[in-house]
Each structure stands twice: as structure tokens, then as C-alpha cells.
Structure 1
Amino acid sequence: MLLSALASGAEAAFFALSDAELEQYKNSHNKAEQKIYRLLQTPRKLLTTLLIINNGINVSIITLFAYVSWQVFGTRSLSAWAIICCMLLATFSIVFFAEVLPKIYANKRGASIARKLAPAISFLQEVSKPLSSTLMGISDYIEKHYLSKSYHQSLEELHHSLDMALINEETSPEERKLLRGIVNFGSITVGQIMRQRKDIVAFNMNATIPELLPLILKWGYSRVPVYAHSKDKIEGILYIKDLLPHINEGPEFKWQHLIRVPLLVSEQKHIAELLNDFKDKHVHMAIVVDEEGKTTGLLTLEDVVEEIVGEINDEFDDDEEIIYSQLDENTFIFDGKTSLHDFCKIAEIPFDSFNEVKSDASSVAGLMRSVFGRVPRVGETLSYGRFHFTIESADLKRVKRVKINVTSKKEVFQKAS
């Protein structure tokens, strides 16, 4: 019962810590506090570990209750009232002594409890890693293939209604894009629109101010991620406005204390939820991480808003055009490097149109490899649903250019009628 109470208390203690406390722990010399910070960089993994420990202990408690009952009554064939009494006693004991009381206590003394339990939890996380990884994998599979199924069906119905409205009404291209952006907004995930890790501009924490200034002028960003060893682990976000009062300082100035705690999110998070996080935490940038806490991408508030209103360019933005050409209303030629998200946006089709065949592909070239089952040759064609692909350019390793014909919804409706 004590072990179960410690597991429940640990859960409450770790997740009761504030962002300010975590920021202190990040630069702390206390090993326990450093472990707390590292554990909370992958909160889902930490929670899974704690649940495995707690449920394992609770199952042991129930088993012991059953064993003691058999010894007390001298038989394994217990009467109904005896079973009910044992069940009520075990449930009350676990809920009150191993759940409610520890969590109330831990909420008041979260930091102290977390420091004491951090070494043990860190060790148990490694021990239970095979089981926790398996459970998280199963959870991801169920969420991806079943829990979101009804949501996608509703989304398809909404797309159908929108297509019917756009066919029957006179709407400008700008209005059509805005309407589609609103409809699609709730279904878009962070991973679909994030800037990939290889494209992230980040500063090294070991750089001095004189070394930083040329980089700041070169890139012109107002917020820049900061790393210690590699981009795999972003330590914080440097706001250039925080650095301005110190630009005349020498190499000895410790600018690292100016960096702020980064907002870490997963690729599976929907941007509608992320927008709420941006508003609640008053930040404009999020670092995308995988289950191991390694950086996979970056996303800003501007990126999220652009999914509804379209591209937002100021006087400092470069015109980075997506490389494609439109031959007619339904036919496009795309560069293989174009992301699937951008292709769907330009062709005005649902973002989940290729979910069944794309596998892990994120670009048009990757989609071709998944659809064909190999790297296709120049001139090869293939149809999938209402899409017809023709390979315009390719080599032995990748597809460089693809012609894509999209059968319009209008034609589909006319054939159906």
C-alpha cells in the first residue's frame, strides 16, 4: 500500500511542477533536479511508466487480499458476502490510502517529493522501457486507426457539403480557400505543417555575443531556438529583444540566462489545440519532439494562422514559392520535394486523401514510392481513387517531377447522378 501511495504521489508531484520551477531545474547543479527536468521532457513516457508501476502494485495488493481471505476463511470457495466485503475493503483501501491522500499531500509538497523520487523513477523508467514503448505504440495505433475514424467521417461529410455549395454558388478563389482552410483546420496536425529539423535555424549556447550578432543580422528572426550540443535537444528560445540591451557587452557576458523555456509538442497534436496553447502560454513558437524528446521540427503562431488565411508576408520575408505549375483546372505538375500538405492545399483536396497509402511519406516523391511500391520510372502512370499520376522526371533514387490529374468533385457528382 505504501508503494502504491508513493507511485500515486509521484504522479501528482511531477505534474504539479510549474514552468518556472522546471526552468530552475534545467540549470541546477542538483542531480535530482536535473533528472526531474529530463523526465518531464517526455511527459507521456513518464506518465506511462508511473501508470505501469502503480497498476502493477495495485494488482499485487488485490492478489494479497485474495490470499489473506483464503487463509482467514480456510477455503478458496468464498461466499458471496465474503467476496463483496473483501472487494469493498480492498477498493476503499486503495482509493483512499493509495490514491486520494498521497495526491493531496503531493500537491502541497510536489517539489520536495519529486526530488526524492526522481532517481528511483528514472531507474524504473529504463527498466520498464520495453513495456512502456509497447503500450504507447498500441495507443498510437488505436488512436490513429480507430478513435479518429468517426471524426474523419464527419469531416468528409463537411467537405462534401462544402463541395456541393462551391459547385452551386459563385465564389472567388480567395473565398474558396478561406472556407476550405476553416473546414480543414481542426484535422491538421503539427507534423503536417512543421518546419523540418534540417531547416531549423538555431544558435549554439557556447557562442559569445560578438559571434551571435552576425547570425542575428543574417537570419533576421525575432525568436531563435538555442541548443547545447546539437539540434536534437533544444534548451530554450532566445528572444532577440531580450538581447538588445546587451549588444555592446563583451565575449564574457553570459547571455544564456536570457533564454526562455521552450514549448514542446508532439507531431500528433492538432494545430487547433496548439493555437490554444499559444494563447494560454503567451508564446509564438513551439518545438516539435518525438517520444525520446529529440527535436523533429518547429512551428510558429504564424504557420498556424496561415492555414486559415493563407500566406502572411511582411517586408522582410523572402518569396519562397512552392515549385509547381497548373496546366488546367484539374491537372498539376509538382516538384517531388513538395510536401503532401502543400499539394492538398493547392489542389483543394482533403488532407487525409492519401492516409491509407502514404505510410510515412510526407512529400509528393515519398507518396509516389508508397503508391507504386518502389521508385517508378519516367513515363509510368498509376491511378488511385480520383487521382491519376504520371512520372515526368525521376532517377534511380527518387521521383523529381510528377503530373497529377485530380478528377473534380463536380465530375464525380455528375457521374453519380
Structure 2
Amino acid sequence: MAGFLLLLLSALTSGAEAAFFSLSEQEIARCKTSTKKSELLVYSLLQQPRKLLTNILVLNNGINVGIITLFAYVAWQLYGTTSLPAGALIACLLFVTFLIVFCGEVLPKVYAQKKRLDIARRTAPFLRALQTITSPLSQLLMAISGHIEKHYMIRGYNHTIEDLHHNLDVALTNEDSSPEERRILRGVVNFGSITVRQIMRPRIDMEAFSTSATLPQLLPQIVKWGYSRIPVYSESMDKIEGILYIKDLLPYLAETAGFNWQQLIRPPFFVPETQRISDLFQDFKEKHVHMAIVVNEYGTTSGLLTLEDIVEEIVGEINDEFDDDDDIIYSQLDENTYIFDGKTSLHDFCKITEVPFDAFNEVKGDNETVAGLMLALFSNIPRVGQATSYGRFHFTIESADLKRVKRVKINVATKKENYHKVG
């Protein structure tokens, strides 16, 4: 009975370890804002992941030692001596090892992957209660490991995204490489760090139908825009009711103005601005949808993003017969000088000029466009002809009005050169 109880505790701690450290960012964020005490406790424990892991390992290994000791005692009682025959000793070790590894490690960890949040909620109070028992030993182990890490560990893997870009550029600088190959590899490297807000189509550029429109009013717009999926709103763009798939409308093109086309719209898929496109790509595959409506922290519509937009971050622009070639409006005057439309996203600018995507993180604030960057650098709406510099970049306002920056000339210096900021 004692052996079964210890084995159950071993499985419980192993499952808790797998559950806690496999939670996704969305699940952790849910625990942070939850009103349930168990989920808040999960989030609290994860704020000190190293301490949590050490406590779990101390507890788990203590239980496993107890299992081995118990089986050794049982074997001694069966044979009536502490000097076991070699065959019996090997058989006992193999049996105990199988029980610990299969029943105490493999099975609970496999199960925990499927119900990780549920298991984390159920085991959180248990782990918090046992921390008082394991803390003295875990703190000693953490102090020893911290000392070893500080004085003896070799730090050879702290590479930044810029380091990876540089290494890629060096590796591909040969006669067989091409800018397209380098662009694809840069897209792969950055894929996990790009947020929805960086590449979405902003609200001002969104095309959408009002639920009050009639079918004859829709058809000219469908032909003009050439989209296969179009958002549908009521009252304003902040109230997206769904997505109209044009293929669903095809059988009803001959209907009159009284036709209730609104019955064809499909439910919208909303995502936050801060979500990573790698996570959204997985959501698209799981939910079998190709378009997401992006909302900000207040729940208002910020823009939209499609599956094609995400794929283009790796393979480059995918143009069909309906796409305009000037979606990203810019011209290149020479090797280092460009003129960009103000509404061009900073992400697209960095991709085109092949500079690090974090080049403006320190100054851009919440802005994600070239025009927004100008407002941050000038601290006002600049006039035509005004210029300023930041790092390797020299900006000159080519066109602007009283409300916004329309076009900017940007000179990108080589890495050996550097501009000073001027007014």
C-alpha cells in the first residue's frame, strides 16, 4: 500500500512538472487575469520558475528514493538477509526502474500534455503547501547552482536576432546566393518574434460592407476590390458582425435588392494586436479560417490579417491578378536612398532595406508606420523639407500637410557610417 501511494505521488509530481512548464502564453495570460484562486496560484508559482522546478525535482527525487528504499526493504524481508543474490538484485532493480520510469514519469507526462492547465490548477495548492518542506534543500541547491553558473559556466549561446542576420549574410555572400534567398531566411529567423500589429492591414485601409447595404450595392464593390473574403459591420467598423465569403454569394447573384445576403456571413475570428504571428498561424490551421480581425486592448478594431500575409513574411510578396503592385509604395533612388509612403509599416521598411527589425524600438513608441516614426522623432507634425537623423538613418520630409506625413526620403548609411540626430 505504501509503495502504491509513493508511486502515485511520483506520478503526480512528474505530471505537475510537465503541466506547469508546457503552458502556452495564452494560458498563462488567462491565469493572470482569472478570478479563480487556483489559476491565480498557478500564475503566482510560475513567477519564480526556477524555484518551482527545483522544489518539484527535490520532491520527486525524494519520493523516488523512498520507493527504492521500500522495495529494498521488502526484498530483504523476503530473503531474510541484506546480502541478496546477484540475480535477485538485478531483477529487483529492473522492476523498480520500470515502475518509476513508466508509471512515475512517462505516463503522467504524456497525460499532462493533453490536460496541462487542468492538472496545473489541481496540483498548484499541493505544490504550494509542500514548498515549506522542500524550501530549505531547494534554496541550498539553487545557491550552489547559481554559484557554479556564475563562475564556471561558459556563455556561448547568447546570440541576438541581429547576430543571426549577420551570420546569414556572411554565409550567403557567394556567387550562388541571391537577395531572395537571404530574404526568406531572414523571414524564418524573425517569424517567431513578429506580432500581429506589425504586419496587419490597418483599419484605415480596410474594406468592409455594412449590413444595411443591399445585394445590388455589394456587387460593384466586390468586382472593384477583388477580395474573396470581406468583413461585414453594423453601425461602425468597431462592430464587425462576421466575414462574407464571396463564393457563398455566387449562387445568389441574380437575386433582387430584397435578398437577405446577411444570412450568409460567417462568424468573425478576433485576435489581439500583441499576438505572435507564429501562434496565429497555428490558430488559422486549427480553426480552418484565413482571416482574423485585429482588436486593441479596448476591444475596438485595429485592422485585419490574413493567412496570406503571414506566409508572405517568409516567402515574400504573393501577387495574384487582383493585387496592386503598389501595396507598399516606395521607390529606390540609389543603393542607399529610398522614398517611402508615410503609411508604410516599419516592418515592411526594415524588410525592404534589410535592416534589423528592432532598429527603431527605442524611439518608435507605439508607432508602427514610417509616418508615426517621424512624429516620434520630430515630436510634432513636421513640414516639407525638414530633416532629422537617427543612427544610420537620415530622414527628409518630402510631402506633408497639417494632419499627417505623406512621403519621406530615407538614406540608410552603411554600418561603418553613422548619423547624429539633428533638428
TM-score (norm 1): 0.59
Counterpart residue identity of residue 386, structure 1: R
Matched, 1:193 2:199: yes
Matched position secondary structure for 2:193: coil
* Conserved 8 A contact 2:168-2:182: no
* Conserved 8 A contact 2:384-2:399: yes
Encode CA deviations 1:264-306: one digit per residue, 9 max, x unaligned.
1111111111111111111111111122322110111111111
User: How far did 1:195 drift?
Assistant: 1.0
Distance verdict in 2 for CA 1:56–1:244, change over 3 Å: closer
Percent identical pairs in the alignment equals 66
1:9-408 mapped onto 2 (5 Å cutoff) = 51-52=34-35, 54=37, 154-167=160-173, 171-395=177-401, 397-408=403-414
User: How far did 1:176 drift?
Assistant: 2.3
Counterpart residue identity of residue 345, structure 1: K
Matched position secondary structure for 1:328: coil
Moved more, 330-339 or 161-170: 161-170
Counterpart residue identity of residue 289, structure 1: V
User: How far did 1:257 drift?
Assistant: 2.7
User: How far did 1:319 drift?
Assistant: 2.5
Give the structure with higher Rg (CA). Answer: 2
The 2-side partners of 1:258 and 1:44 are apart by: 36
User: How far did 1:391 drift?
Assistant: 3.6
The 2-side partners of 1:284 and 1:405 are apart by: 37
* Conserved 8 A contact 1:233-1:293: no
* Conserved 8 A contact 2:31-2:39: no
The 2-side partners of 1:290 and 1:321 are apart by: 24
The 1-side partners of 2:261 and 2:245 are apart by: 11
Structure 2's unaligned 5+ residue stretches are 1-26, 42-117, 123-156, 418-423
The 1-side partners of 2:203 and 2:166 are apart by: 35
User: How far did 1:181 drift?
Assistant: 2.0
Moved more, 195-204 or 349-358: 195-204
The 1-side partners of 2:206 and 2:30 are apart by: 27
Encode CA deviations 1:78-114: one digit per residue, 9 max, x unaligned.
xxxxxxxxxxxxxxxxxx9xx75xxxxxxxxxxxxxx
User: How far did 1:392 drift?
Assistant: 4.0
* Conserved 8 A contact 2:31-2:40: no
Moved more, 298-307 or 256-265: 256-265
Counterpart residue identity of residue 234, structure 1: I
Counterpart residue identity of residue 245, structure 1: P
Which residue does the alignment assign to 1:81?
Answer: none
* Conserved 8 A contact 1:392-1:401: yes
User: How far did 1:342 drift?
Assistant: 1.9
Structure 1's unaligned 5+ residue stretches are 1-42, 59-95, 101-150, 413-417
* Conserved 8 A contact 2:399-2:408: yes
User: How far did 1:321 drift?
Assistant: 4.9
The 2-side partners of 1:304 and 1:249 are apart by: 36
TM-score (norm 2): 0.58
Distance verdict in 2 for CA 1:380–1:161, change over 3 Å: same
Moved more, 291-300 or 163-172: 163-172
The 1-side partners of 2:333 and 2:40 are apart by: 65
Counterpart residue identity of residue 367, structure 2: A
Which residue does the alignment assign to 2:137?
Answer: none
Matched position secondary structure for 1:233: strand
Encode CA deviations 1:353-407: one digit per residue, 9 max, x unaligned.
1011001222222212212333344444433222233344445554443332223
The 2-side partners of 1:152 and 1:371 are apart by: 31
* Conserved 8 A contact 1:184-1:350: no
Distance verdict in 2 for CA 1:328–1:250, change over 3 Å: closer
Counterpart residue identity of residue 236, structure 1: G
